[in-house]
Amino acid sequence: MLVYPNAKINIGLDIVARRTDGYHDIETLFMPIPELTDILEIVFAPEAKMVQYGLEYDGEPEDNLCFKAFRLLQKEKGIGNVEIHLYKKIPVGAGFGGGSADCAFTLMTLNDLFGLGLSKEELAGYAATLGSDCPFFIYNRPMLASGKGEILKPYDLDLGGYRIELAMPDIHVSTREAYSKVTPARPGTSLAERLAQPIGQWKRSVKNDFEPSVFAAHPSLAAIKDDFYRRGAVYASLSGSGAALYGIFCK
């Protein structure tokens, strides 16, 4: 079975509190980006195997979230062995959620292949044990996310009259380091209220809390955002902790 795990962007990202477990509570809007995908194929096989192609990234194939998702369902549901072939096109560690998408699509594909009959809610529950962003890709529609990113609420956002341009600079931003340089604070107005404003007003009110410290460390990223606005973007931002950025333009 062949599927195409897609990227996401964050529209707004408020880091509102540090948790006792060492993580942070956030508020953000996850928006799927169907134009940028990996390619994932899962087939029945006598032995379990994970094969990776495309963009290179560190780690053994068995440490990939796709393989961990398979092992989880094998343990919980007793499914047979499969071969997983993953062609990476979504940059790793860019803020596009590629690894989380691959994980979620693996769970959904295994559910179909083995006829497990798991609901989206059940799949999202499994996904949450593998990564904070993973449950979003089970639903794969605009979602307000809170908690660590796993608490999701559907949000109606239609960007059909706009196009989204992505920038993927060859810069690595450590998420752990990025979080360490942010002082959590809860805004006076919720992200949902700010997103309800006309998109032309987002520039003044919808912020990504990672930008000040990440841009200070990597001025070229700030320059990319400035260039989006110079070329007429109605909104531009870092996605997640970066280093990827996006601009939203009128069609």
| Two structure tokens written together for 190 | 């919720």
SS3 198: coil
232: alpha, beta or left? (left if phi > 0; alpha if psi -120 to 50): left
The DSSP code sequence of 110-156 is HHHHTT----HHHHHHHHHTT-TTHHHHHH-S-EEEETTTTEEEE--
CB 107 within 8 A of CB 127: yes
> Judging by DSSP bridges, how do beta strands 49-54 and 82-88 pair with one another?
parallel
Q: Which helix (H) or strand (E) holds 164?
A: strand 162-167
Q: Which residues are catalytically annotated?
A: 8, 133
